[in-house]
Amino acid sequence: MSFFERYAGLMEDKGLDPGSQTAADMMGTTRATISVWKNKQTTPKGDMVAKMADALGVSTDYLLGRTDDPTDYAKRSSGKVVPLKTRKSKIVHLYTQLDMADRLKAEGVIQGMLLQDKYLDGLNAAHARTDLEATPEMEAADESIMDDDDF
């Protein structure tokens, strides 16, 4: 399987057209470059392959066709995680695909998660402030989210 076939399959698994502007932005390149990978069967240089592998959550060896196992063992064993910038852009991209009702649901879920004790310790203690009073509008918004059958 060629580099482009691996790349295209991974993008399609994410619901993205591999040659789209969204895909190009996600990979930090242009649509024209992606077209060259496809039409001329070329492979990007090392740094680009590493960025792409991070963005797609696979190893560079998998992307380059050196293995059929997509697991990035180097990151897994070293405890490294995908850079925050990459994770943020992925989260923002996913969030922007939601309609307003689902955005509110997602925000409610995240806010609920942040109320867990493990997030209320130390630096995040500001989230547990008790000197704030909930306004009627805040309570109504909470109730509307909690009353939603799809939530």
Q: How far apart are CA 61 and CA 70, in angstroms?
A: 8
| Cβ neighbours, 10 Å, residue 44 | 20
In a domain? residue 124: yes
For residue 32, what pLDDT band results from cuts at 50, 70 and 90? Answer: very high
> Range with the lowest mean pLDDT among 3-7, 10-14, 116-120?
116-120
Q: Where in the sequence is the domain holding 103, given as residue range(s)?
A: 98-146
- Is the model's pLDDT at 97 over the cut of 60? yes
67 and 104 in a single domain? The answer is no
Domain of 55: which CATH number?
1.10.260.40
20 and 48 in a single domain? The answer is yes
pTM of the predicted model over 0.85: no
In a domain? residue 42: yes
Q: What is the pLDDT of residues 38-71, one digit of tens each?
A: 999 999 988 899 999 988 989 999 999 999 888 8
For residue 120, what pLDDT band results from cuts at 50, 70 and 90? Answer: low
Number of structural domains (the chain) is 2
